[in-house]
Amino acid sequence: MNTATEISTPLRLYLVRHGETAWSLSGQHTGRTDLPLTADGERESRELEERLRGIHFSQVLSSPRLRARQTCESAGLGQQEQIDADLAEWDYGDYESQRTSEIHELRPDWNIFQDGCPHGELPMQVADRADRLIVRLRKRDGNIALFTHGHFGAVLGVRWIGLPVIQAEHFTLASASLSILGEDPRRPGMPVLALWNAKSTNASDPASRRGVDDQAGMRTRALERWENEGGELLNQRRFDIAGEK
């Protein structure tokens, strides 16, 4: 009988936003609409495989939306994929397929993280969904990959570190970006953003500042492609690996 005690490894969540879609380029809110990746979206999703290679994932969870599932497959983790409905994007209701600029014509002060969407989800509903997922994930250990979306990913990030959902407006996510949610090794139990919005092949290394999307040209491209599933351009702030402004 083997009496050896299996040592658990700390929980680390590898949060991946899906690759580019046609509505990423056109700036339309993409919630329930099941669009595939563009050719560029497939390419940048395949680049994720290099970033994630060599990492053992105890579980791989994906939004049920096609764009997230295709990103997971292109990243080389399709065989481990499990669908988790809580990872789905914000339900935009009446604002599905609209651009932020179009919404602002009727509601100049509209902010999804404050106001939500008519006949769609309210901010607290999305926050509750993120909290429910976090409670489930905290019961596990090891590396877990999460393939999700721009707005929901931002909410998951701020709820992981205990911030109110309105603060998610400051946390942008580029297409096919990688973020890591974990704990401070010096203060067990203290949730941190070990990496945020990385677009580099060094993204799997949270100690590497090269893994952060901090190049001017890359920032411009990320903003252009940050679909209005993620698309507020108001009050944007960059966060480095430690999560500071």
230 HSE (CA, 13 A, CB side): 31
- Candidate list 18, 149, 151, 170, residue with the active-site label: 18
In sign, the C-alpha dihedral spanning 62, 64, 70, 76 is: positive
**Known catalytic residue at 149:** no
- The mean pLDDT of 240-244, rounded to a whole number, is 33
Task: Provide the token pair at 185.
Answer: 């090794």
How far apart CA 16 and CA 18 sit, in angstroms, is 6
Asked if 175 and 45 count as a contact pair (C-beta separation under 8 A), the reply is: no
- The mean pLDDT of 58-66, rounded to a whole number, is 98
Residues 151-188: tens digit of each pLDDT: 999 999 999 999 999 999 999 999 999 999 999 989 98
Q: What is the pLDDT of residue 244?
A: 32
**Known catalytic residue at 18:** yes
Radius of gyration for the chain, computed over Cα atoms and rounded to the nearest angstrom? 17
Q: Which residues contact 41 (CB under 8 A, 6 or more apart)?
A: 18, 19, 20, 21, 24, 67, 70, 71, 175, 176
Task: Please report where in the chains the tokens 């105890």 appear, as a residue.
Answer: 58
How many other β-carbons are positioned within 10 Å of the β-carbon of residue 198?
25
The residue among 149, 243, 145 whose CA lies nearest residue 194 is: 243
Q: What are the chain's domains?
A: 14-225 (3.40.50.1240)
How far apart CA 15 and CA 171 sit, in angstroms, is 13
- The mean pLDDT of 105-114, rounded to a whole number, is 97
Q: What is the pLDDT of residue 6?
A: 52
Task: Please report where in the chains the tokens 């096919």 appear, as a residue.
Answer: 176
Asked if 129 and 91 count as a contact pair (C-beta separation under 8 A), the reply is: no
pTM above 0.95, yes or no: no
Confidence of residue 25 (pLDDT cuts 50, 70, 90): confident
Task: Provide the token pair at 99.
Answer: 């651009």
- Candidate list 20, 44, 89, 229, residue with the active-site label: 89
Q: What is the pLDDT of residue 101?
A: 96
